[in-house]
Structures are given as C-alpha cells and as structure tokens.
Chains A and B, each alone.
Chain A
Amino acid sequence: MTDLVAGVDVGGTFTDLVILDPATGAVQLAKVPTSLPNQAPGVLAAFDAAGANLADLALIVHGTTTTTNAVLERNLCKTGLITTLGFRDVLELGRRTRPQPYGMTGTFTPVIPRDLRLEIPERMDAQGRPVTPLDEDALRSALRHLIDQGCESLVIHFLHAYANPAHEIRAAEIAREVWPTPYITGGHDLLSESREYERGVTAAVNASVQPLLERYVARLAGELRDRGYPRDLLVMNGNGGMVEASKVSREAVKTVMSGPASGVMAALATGRRAGFPNLLTYDMGGTSTDVAMIRGNRAPVSNEIEVEYAMPIHVPMVDVRTVGAGGGSIARVDAGGMLRVGPESAGSTPGPVCYGRGGTRVTISDANLILGRLPADRFGQAAEDARRAMHDQIAAPLGLTTEAAAEAVLRIANTHMAGAIRMVSISLGADPRDFALFAFGGAGPLHATALARELAIPRVLVPARPGITNALGCVVADLRHDFVRTLNRPLDSVDMDQVHAILAAQEAEGRRLIAAERIALTDTTAEFTADMQFIGQTHLLRIPLPSATPTRDDIRQRFEAAYHARFRVTLPTIRANLVNLNCSVIGHRPYMDLSRLIDPAERRTIATPKATRTVWFGQPMETPVYWRDHLPLDPRITGPAIIEQMDTTTVIDPGCTVRGDADGNLIVEVPQ
C-alpha cells in the first residue's frame, strides 16, 4: 500500500490521468480518447496506458461530464413532476426570454415534458402559511399515473416551499411508500430560495440525471474494484470539492460543471505554491474558451450559474464563464467586407480545416498553423488545405497575403477574447491588470502572451502540464461544502443572534460532513460571506465576513467599503439589505508536491532550441523552438520563442521574457 493519488478527468475529446506520489512527487500521466456515451472504458484505458497498478492507489478522484452532456443533449431519464395546481407549465414558460437579443427565432426544450408534469391541490402563501391543504388522494393518484407512464425519477416542487416545506416533505413521505426507485427530489432539498423557475429547473435537472450518474459511477467503481482498487472512488463536484461516489448521485446536479471546476482547483493549487494569489484562469480548448477569477487564493463560487439558454442551476458552483468558441471559431468576411471571427464554431467535428476531418471553413487553429505557431509537420496535407482556405475565404476578399490574413484573424480573435475577459472582470468588480493570466487547455498557451498584452496584464503563468490541468485539479482539490441561507431583511432590523446561529449551524454541518469522509486532511476551515444590496436594488455584492460572529457594524462597514470600491458611490441615506448568509467549509488536503510533473531527469542545464522555424509576429521571424521537457528550471528565454510539449504549444511573443520556478511553471513577463 502506497499513498498514490490518481486524478482522472473526462473531457469532450480526451480522458486525462495524473497519478501522483505525494511522498516523492513522482508522476505518471496518460491521455487517451474519451469513450462515449459510457465514459468508463476510457477511464480504464487511461489507467492501462499509464501502466498503473490499481491495487497500489490510495485514492482515485474523478471528474466527469456525464451529467453535463446529459443536460446539454437532453439525454435525460424519464422524470415526472408533481406541482402546485395552476403551475405545471412553469418549467416550460421560463422567465419570458429569447435566446438572443436580436432575432425572433430559437427553440427551447423543457427538462420534463408537459404530459409528465401533473398538478395537485395544495398551496402556501409567501409567508409560508398554508392556503390550501395538501390533497393526499390527488397526490397518490398522480404518483400512480407517473409510475404507470414509466417514470424513473420524481420531482415534487411546490410554490413557496422555501418558506415552508411541510407539504413537500409530507408529499415525499407518501411518494417513498409507492415510488419504485429512490430518485425523489423535492424543490426545497437543494436550495431554499424563492424564484420558482430557477428552483424548479435545479430540482428537475437533479432528478433527471440522478439515475444516470448513479449507474455510471456504480459501474465504474465496480470495474475499478474488479481490477484490484479496494477503496472509495471520489467524484468532483461543480463547487470544486469532491464527494464519495456512493453519495454523489443524491445531489447529482452539483456535478454539472465538474470539469471546469477541477481546472480552477488546479490553478488555485498551482498559484498558491508559485506565490500567485490572484489569477485569471484562461482555458482555451477546441470548442470553448472559459475564464474564472481567483482572488486571494480563493475559488470563485456562485449560486447563479446558467449552463445554457434558460437553464439556470442555482447551487453553489465554481463561477466559470465561457467567453468564446475556442480554436474552432470560424473566420469570415461579412457582406460589408468586415473581417469577423466567431461566434460560429467548427467544433471538434468537422473541426478546423487543418484537422483533415472534413472541415472546410477556416478557423483560429488554421491561422495558428499558417503563422508557424503550430508545427506544420503534424498536420500533413491538411496544412496545405488550411492555407488554401485562408487564401480563398479571407486573404483574397480583403486583398491581403495569406499570412497577413491569418494574423488578422488572430488579432481579431484576441481582441474579442480580451474584451469578453474584461467584461467578466468588471462584472465581478475587478480590474484584469491586478491578475496574472493562468493559461491552460490545449490552446490557452498559444494565445496567452498576446492576450495579456491586450489586457495590460503583466504576467502569464503557464503550468507544467497545461493540457491535463483538469485531471491535476482532481488530485489536488480539497473537500468542500457550501451553504446558502436566504434572509432578505434590512440589515438594521436583522436579529444578530439569528445571524450568528445560522452561520454556526452551517459551519457545524460542514464539519460534520467532512469528518464523515475518510480522507487525510491537514485541517478544516470555514469561510463566511454575506450577499448584500441597498434596499431597492436587485443585484447583489458578496462581502467576506471576518468570522461566524460579525457585528452589525462589521457587516455595514464592509458592505459600504465594497460598494464604494466598485461603483465609486456612497449612499449614506439608503439602507442596506442582508440577502444571503453563506458558509464554505473546506477540508484541506495535504499539499501535493507538484515539482515532478515534468520529469527532472529530462531537464538540461541550458535552454537549447531543438530547431528554428519561421513564425509570424507582424513579420516573419526566425524563431527558436524548444522542447518543454528539456528546459532547465529557470530557462531565461526572451521571445520570440515557441515551446512545444506533449500536451500543448506555448507562444512567447517578441520582447517577452520567460523564467521558471521549482514546479516547472513558466512565468512570462509581458512588457507593456
């Protein structure tokens, strides 16, 4: 028995595995194609590829897109809804929106179809006082109907159950007597806040992915056991914590966003070791570009994520925002003669022209190839096709050379991504210049230095293994439980004893849950925040609280300071409102030694290019190409340079300088 910890992350294209020995820092890696729709064979193949002996592993942590894919593709289990009389269509009506501000088209498919949404007499008012008693006969007959229809999961969602869940609780009791499976979700189970659509969708998604997740995880755990792994399988949650496989499906909705969350956890751990407490994470892959903001070594967690149009999931999840369509974004010249990039994407199928999989429209990845940023020899004949497509579709209409057209595509793509990142920062109340850019994903390091220059960000951190960051996140993530309690009262009339009691109860529950999991921890801490606004406002500001026993003045002063910092306005005549009290309890795992993610034996004493090639930076420049694994710890390279490795390519713009640290991170200084 050793202490080996394995992290395995299933992405859209690849399944990545990292096995780390905390004692020595020794690492085994594997990258294999993802298997779909059942992701388990891919996971097992990754262990095979790494030559891992499962019996040696102390812990396996798994990030999965099983639930994400099920929601986005509406490949859901047959689920029934029982709700308040008059309200069965809430899940179909949404909040009266359309997918885009302009264009009167678009479609929407509700999570539960109309014929499986039933109504029964019962009603609470907004204060939680019963208006109509629960009609238990109607309930029983509705349950029978849904069972006869073959429903596997059940949602019981009543109006104002956040204020008084008595009817939901009683209805669930009755349902459990007859329902053939354990998959029953009450609207108030996952969140106790008002807004019937958001609470209902969250419950409906939970119920309709529960059986899928449970079956998948159980089968995977079984196969791992058959191969000699005797311990618990843990699954990554969207809040950046992890949960035992046997318990994860109870709150299955929390695993939607599991993949992006683990990437942010890896950034957090890497940044903490490297001395970067403030990071903008920048994850660019083939089909999407995602950013998140880490401040003061804390993961950004929000309870108001919308995973796609009209699909809000209001449980605490790492706040990762999609700002672009990734390397597959299509470039074109519009009818007015203006060059545009995205939002259309060639995705991973057919993908960019240079993939040679039938893509015909020129993309960001093709531009990177044409400019020498990607190695042409890896693409064969398709590289020529990409050049021709760039010439025909962009260069000729604009009267540019093929290279100038490709540079234009990159410049515009970077401008748009920078703009979107700036908007994310501002909406979170921060200036991007106060952050370092943490570049990962297959294409993040290709664009990072140019993007940093655009955003006036002084420093880029390229981790040792940008292409397997999510799997690393599984290895280093902490245990974490988040709690939200809605008060929605003026601060000056809030009962402070009640505030202290709520925060204390949240902390106690979190500590109890963490103590119940058999994972080695260094310590467990709790963080407290309040969501606040001035009375009359609708947007919330999240304010860190100093402890579980803040005074009224503590809270007021912190809110006013945060508001002023954000909007440069003080409003002494208007009262503050305390909307939510939140607590995050974190069980800290021992620090992992990340210094051997790149094998030290491969390291050389001097940075020597393996080759040079022509790369375009406004003009053709003969550019040295380095192999990442051969770089010394502190390579001291000045751009232009290309650094290649198994899982990505890093572009160093002219004038930027590269140093390294003990973990093998590259730190790029970007002059302004």
Chain B
Amino acid sequence: MIDPVTLAVIQAGLQQVCDEMDLTFSRAAFSPVIAEADDRSDGIYSATDGSLIAQGSRGLPVFVGTMQFSTRHIVERIASGDTLPPEEGDIYIVNDPYLGGTHLMDVRFAMPFWRNGEIFCWLSNTGHWPDTGGAVPGGFSASAISAEQEGLRLPPVKLFKRGQMDAEIYQIICSNIRVAEQRIGDVQAQASALLVGAERLTQLLDRYGDATVTAAIAEMRALAARQMRANAALIPEGRYSATAIVDSDGVVNEPLTIALTVTRQGDTLTFDFAGSSPPCMGPMNSVRATTLSSVFLAMRHIFPDVPISAGAFEPLTVIGIEGTFLDAHYPRPVSGCAAEVSQRIAEAVFAALVQAIPDRVTAAPAGTSGNFGLGGHDPERGRDYVMYQISGGGYGGNAAHDGLTNGCSTIGISKAPPVEIMEQNFPVLYRRYALREGSGGAGTHRGGFGLDYEIELLRGTARASFVMDHGRSGPQGAMGGKDGAVNIVEVIRNGETLIPEHLSKAQDIPLSPGDRVRVRTPGGGGYGPPAGRAAASVMEDVRLGRYSADEAQRLWPQIAGKKT
C-alpha cells in the first residue's frame, strides 16, 4: 500500500505530464482547430490493455476516454500480428473510426514509452486535422452514405520509425488531403507533444522509481473507481429513462431516436440504449468509442471532481448499443458522431439523471456545434476559400441559477471566432450577431439564450452547408421547465426564404452576391415550473428586451398586472 502523500504527488505529476503535452501540441500547431480551438487531447495509457491512466485537463471533452480504445486496438493488433511490433522511437498514426475513434479528421498518434527495453505505457494523442480528403473540404459531408466519401482511412501504421519520419507514408497521406503543405507543422507538433511527454515521464520515474509509480497508477485507478461509486450512490436506487432526438441523418429525412434507461443498482450505473434507432444511411452514425466517451463526458459534467481515469469508468456499464446507430460498423458514414450525436447522447444522460439528482444536473443545453460551412471563390483576392462559422447556444437552467447565454458546445471548449476576423478573411458581411430573444426555455430558472446571426455574401459565388441539430425539437426542459427554442436555418436567395428540407442539415446550397444566411441557435431548457419564477425576474427580462411583454405574459402568467 502506497502512502497517500506519495500517491497524490505522483497523480499530480502524471497530470502534469499530460497537461504539458496538451500545451506543447496547441502552441506549436498550425491548424486553428488545434491551436485556437484546442480540438486535441493527450494522455497516458496502459501498456497491457490501453486503459486510461491520465489525460490532459485541457483536452477536448469529447475525447474523454476515446484514445484508450484506439490504444487498445493497436495493442491487440500488434499481438495478433495485424500491425508491426514497435521498436524504440516508433510512432503509430491511425484515424480509422471503427478502431476506437471518432470521425476521420481526428488523427491519433500512439507512441510506446520504453523503460529498460520494455514498454512501460503508451503516450497517445488526437488532433483534429482540417482535412483528411473525401467529398467535401473539412470532411463534414452532410450527405455521405459511405466511409470512403468521408476521406482517407488509415489503419495503425508507423509514421515515425526509430525516430525518423517515414517520408513515403507521409507522401501518401499528403497526396490524399487538401492544404497538405501546412500539415508538416501539425505532424511535427503532434509528435513533439509526445516527445515532451516522454521526457517528463522519464524524470518522474527516475525520481520516484518505476515500482512506486506502477503501484500508484493501480491505486489511482482504484481510488477513481471508488469516487465514482460514491457519486453513483448519491443517486436514489431505481431506473431513469429519457430520449433524445437527432433531427435526421442528413440523407433520409426521419428523426433518429436515442432511447436511454439508466439503472442505479448498488454502486454501479448501467446505461441501456436498447430501442435506439438502427444504423442510418447518412453520416449521423456513432461508433462504439464515441458513444462510450459521450456517456463518460456527460458524467464528468455532472461530477467534475472525479479524475479522468479508467477507474472512473469501471462502475459505468453501457449496454444495448449493438445493432443501433450508436455502434455503427464499416462502411457506415460517421462524420456527424463527434460533433452532434455525441451531444444528443450527453443530453439523454442529463435528461435521465436530472430526475434523480436535480440539484446536480441542468436542463438540456443547446447541444449543437452549429457548423456552418461556406465554400466559394473570392474574385477580389483571386482565390478559393472555405469558411467555418461555429456557434454556441443557451445552457439549461439549473437548481442554482438561469442557464448561461451563448455557451460552448457540450463536447467542446473552444471560442468562436470574432466577426471582425471572419470578415477580414472571407467575402461576407455580418448583418447581425445578436442574442436570440425569447429563446430561453421558460422555468423557475429559465434557459440561457441562443445566438441570432445573419451573414451576407458580398462577391463571387459560394455554396453553403450546415451540420447542426435540434431543428425539430428544442433542448429539453427539466423538472417542469419548458424546452428551449429550436434551431432555425434560413437561406434568403433573391429575396426568397428557403428552409432546408432537413431543417438543421444541408449540403451545397448555391449562393450569389446579396444572398443571406440567417441562423438562430437553440436556447437552453428551462428548469422547474415557470410558475415558480419570481415576477420581478420575469419583469427584469422584459425590461432588458430578452422576452417581449406578450411572450413573457404567455410563459409566466404570474406577471399579470405587473408593470415594467
């Protein structure tokens, strides 16, 4: 048994190794998705089964736990002879979604960490590359019907051999992706993060000894499990059901259902997704690793104190995904899983557990990344461009307060780009970038407000694509609160307003100068019955123009006769 102080110190030390990898990766990376949006994650994984030992605290939440599945697949494939065994200095690259991944753009590097000629653990990281080939720039094809249309798929291969990059593999990759000339900067950054991690981990092991650190890792895992069990025990014993709806798969215009029943028994939780929709034709399928990770990240939003470790996942069992769109297999397209389906899974977890522990869980947040892509030609600069506008939405009301306005996606931590930067880089003019009035779901504590923006194309022609969600139904209210407002996309061409057939998803809608795109993002769900809200709080929202007087009167009848 290791003493509690050494344990805590080694835990902090391992965390530090991961945090330094995160920082190195972001600071050296070229793609804004990694450098600015932190769409990456770094961690330490077990040598035997790839299970998660520690992960950087500023990694993108959607990657909580995914790389342990990737790493496990590599370990298994090495054992079975499908992948070449490692030598010192080797780094594997892999982006196959079906081998413990998310979508193709999330490229994983995995490096064995050696001590005295043996693998002590794995250092692995994931970075979202701006492009990995496929039908559309950026990889988010809303209408793909097979993995091949989504981009280049790499099984685990050694990109670095004995410390040297394999130029041939690199050339194959570069010949299959867009804007390849800048990728070398990201590849170097991703590898250099692992090397920095190895250096720090070596120092830690030299200081405390391999045996002590190994013992500490086992103990940390047991403690994290115990902590999650203690949290599980806060939930009254029983079954809690909820559903969440994905608008459509982008190809077939039918809603997809996530059906979830959470059972608390003893100190464990079972998440049963039986009854969810079967695999879909379009890209809104999820893969097993992403589905599990979405459950983990939702639990960490509820219990942020539990360290990210394989132990924390032990008391959580996910069942019933076989045969559903939450466990898709090759060649089902999957580009929507990391950004959208993951957030619907988290929403189902929130909606189920808010009934059980209403003091800790919020009503549903906007829960969409709000991807709007515009690709076209700018005649003034004589060049093609691809622009991405991501957007936030309202968070759910909760036991303590109203929901936050324009919060980040549930699975992300990145900032949205400023309007001024977008206008510098692309031939567009924003007509509006505003709080979406009336969008917060009514409740004792109302939901936060979504965003209302409108963009005009100034010159050249362009095509607009959308991968969003919550167009059919708004984020769910909780404990008697009302749903937040639905996501609305409008394309205004020659003065006529077009609403995409799939509401929140569309691909390649042609635009001419003067045409506009208006997006209103979801508000958060309300919490508690609206009747419980103080009239003064309602009147304050009316005074600030967040709701019209009529709206407020309808949602909160208790203000009848009160004056602003």
Contact = CB atoms under 8 A, between A and B. Distances in A.
Interface of A: 86-90, 92-98, 100-108, 113-115, 123, 125-126, 131, 159-160, 162, 194-198, 334-340, 398, 400, 407-408, 411-412, 415-416, 419, 422-423, 426-427, 534, 536-539, 566-569, 571, 573-574
Contacts of B300: 102
A93 B405 contact: yes
Interface string B358-395: 00001001000000000000000000000000111001
Contact of B185 (A336, A408, A534): A534
B28 A101 contact: no
A268 B297 CA distance: 45
A415 B5 CA distance: 10
A639 B370 CA distance: 60
B301 A102 contact: yes
Contact of B429 (A131, A194, A197, A427): A131
A566 B23 CA distance: 12
B182 interface: yes
A98 B227 contact: no
Interface in B254-269: none
B406 A96 contact: yes
Contacts of A398: 4
Given A538-B32, A567-B192, A419 B408 contact: no
B435 interface: yes
B162 interface: no
Interface string B497-536: 0000000000000000000000000000000000000000
Given A400-B4, A539-B27, A573-B181, A114 B545 contact: yes
A537 B33 CA distance: 10
Contact of A86 (B32, B227, B430): B430
A552 B392 CA distance: 42
Contacts, number: 216
Given A97-B413, A107-B404, A426-B20, 18 more contacts: A86-B432, A87-B419, A96-B407, A101-B61, A104-B398, A105-B362, A108-B405, A114-B435, A335-B227, A337-B4, A338-B223, A398-B4, A411-B8, A538-B32, A539-B26, A567-B27, A569-B192, A571-B188
A95 B16 contact: no
A88 B434 contact: yes
B416 A96 contact: yes
B23 A90 contact: no
B420 A126 contact: yes
A407 B5 CA distance: 9
Contacts of A195: 418, 420-421
B30 A534 contact: yes
B115 interface: no
Interface of B: 4-5, 7-9, 11-13, 15-16, 19-20, 23-24, 26-32, 35-36, 57-58, 61, 181-182, 184-185, 188-189, 192, 223-228, 230-231, 297, 300-301, 304-306, 350, 362, 365, 390-392, 395-396, 398, 400-402, 404-408, 410, 413, 415-416, 418-421, 423-424, 429-435, 451, 454, 543-546
Contacts of A538: 32, 35-36
Contacts of B433: 86-87, 89-90, 93
A101 B4 CA distance: 27
Nearest to B32: A538
Nearest to B188: A569
B407 A338 contact: no
A97 B32 contact: no
Contact of A338 (B192, B227, B404): B227
Nearest to A197: B418
Contacts of B407: 96-98, 104
B35 A95 contact: no
B8 A415 contact: yes
A97 B184 CA distance: 30
Given A88-B434, A93-B451, A398-B4, A105 B28 contact: no
Contact of A104 (B226, B227, B362, B392): B362
A328 B424 CA distance: 47
Return the 9 tightest CB-CB contacts between A and B, nearest first. A336-B227, A96-B392, A335-B230, A86-B432, A95-B415, A102-B304, A89-B435, A194-B420, A126-B423
A256 to B, nearest CB: 22
Contact of B423 (A94, A98, A108, A160): A160
A131 B224 CA distance: 58
A568 to B, nearest CB: 6
B8 A412 contact: yes
Contact of B305 (A334, A567, A569): A334
Contact of A89 (B223, B396, B434): B434
Contacts of A411: 5, 8-9
Nearest to B308: A102
Nearest to B298: A104
A386 B23 CA distance: 39
Nearest to B228: A336
Nearest to B400: A105
Q: Which of A88, A89, A198 has the most chain B CB atoms closer than 10 A to its own CB? A: A89
A398 B185 CA distance: 48
A571 B184 contact: yes
A573 B181 CA distance: 9
6 contacts: A87-B433, A93-B435, A105-B401, A114-B435, A426-B24, A537-B185
A411 B12 CA distance: 11
B223 A337 contact: yes
A640 to B, nearest CB: 19
B543 A107 contact: no
A422 B545 CA distance: 46
Q: Which of B8, B28, B390, B545 has the most chain A CB atoms closer than 10 A to its own CB? A: B8
A105 B7 contact: no
Contacts of B15: 419
A332 B438 CA distance: 43
A384 B405 CA distance: 47
B507 to A, nearest CB: 24
Nearest to A114: B544
A634 to B, nearest CB: 33
Given A104-B396, A114-B546, A427-B27, A97 B408 contact: yes
B352 to A, nearest CB: 15
Contacts of A416: 12
A194 B413 contact: no
B260 to A, nearest CB: 18
B470 to A, nearest CB: 15
Contacts of A196: 418-420
Contacts of A90: 419, 433
Contact of B23 (A334, A427, A573): A427
Contacts of B305: 334-335
B391 A96 contact: yes
Contacts of B410: 104
Nearest to A160: B420
Nearest to A92: B435
B35 A86 contact: no
A104 B30 contact: no
A200 to B, nearest CB: 10
A568 B57 CA distance: 24
A153 B419 CA distance: 26
Nearest to A397: B4
A107 B431 CA distance: 28
Contacts of A125: 423, 429
Q: Which of A95, A100, A198, A422 has the most chain B CB atoms closer than 10 A to its own CB? A: A95
Contact of A536 (B185, B231, B430): B185
